Structure 1
Amino acid sequence: MPLTFLSAEHDAQSSPTDAPLPHGQPDSWRRPYRPGPWRVGGAAITLLLAAYLLISAVIIAAAGPPTGATVTALCAVASVTFALRLLRMGLWVSPRGLRRVGLFWTRTLRWRDIGEVRTVQQPVKWLGLPRSVQGQAVVIEPRQGEPLRPLVTDHSADFLNRPEPFERAADVLEAWAAEHRVEGGGRGR
């Protein structure tokens, strides 16, 4: 079973205009980068905890009351759901727009609503924590309204201590925006 949310469909040499993979949907959402080791490691530890919880639920069901086993099994299911959502977090693109997936929310912007996507030097959060460090961020300037939070940063869980993948992801995002963004009220997707 292919885990499409774990793979990047764009190599360093490919461009957003390349034909989609034969098994991919032409209008599907794609992540332009692979999840980083911090994100994958956190999900792996969470799944390990879920495995221990499931084993505990079986032992409790065999030795004790079923309510304790049910609560433990529900905690395991919640842990698995959290780990999968953690892996799904990030930025996704399609010909329809740009989608930012968080732990509890998802926000989608159509390309025609985006004024500019660019990489800037600015203070960024280290691994999403309150601590800020100087780094690079890919930011969106919408056509109307105030600028949004940075899309991706070089100090996020996907790119910490990985400058080359960050540069490739930033280039791919800027290329997608340049190709699909509607300039001045033309065609819409």
Structure 2
Amino acid sequence: MNYVFQDWEANKGNLKGRLVMVLFRLARPASKSKLLRIIWLPYLAFYKLFVEWFLCIELPHWTTVGKNFYLGHGHALVVNGCSVIGNNCFIRHSTTIGNIRKEDGSYSGSPIIGDNVEIGSNVCIIGEVRVGNNVRIGAGSVVVKDIPDDSIAVGNPARVIKTLRPVDQVLQPEPEVLL
């Protein structure tokens, strides 16, 4: 049961986020087994109708989403089902995470989002891109290229404007040298 509520604390004070993530976690096991998908079919229809149509959050049950996922405002979110989202991610409203349709009609791979990523509102992350760990993406950015770990990226197209030092590399006093 802990699995179903793994995002509960992350969405504290966010009733809609809590509701969507509990419903998502309940639907997720159906993506692992064809038999379970058949048994779960009425629930999956309810999930699609309620979460996608009424709450306007397109988060397919087969999407890989890490623990402590936070939905900020939870509206107009579109996530491609083949995308991967890491642990402790914070995604705001009107965000699209998807693939690109190529000229030949095929599709590119989907984005892979690392751990501890914060995504601002109205962000588009499209194509076969990797967003590293500990990344912040500013509102309105369009990500079409990889973003390295420990970065802040903004703009259209998004570009890294600052590299953050990991916590373990914070300035330490130089050791005294005795001569």
Q: TM-score, normalised by structure 2?
A: 0.27
Higher relative contact order (CA 8 A, sep 6+): 1
Per the normalisation by structure 1, the TM-score is 0.26
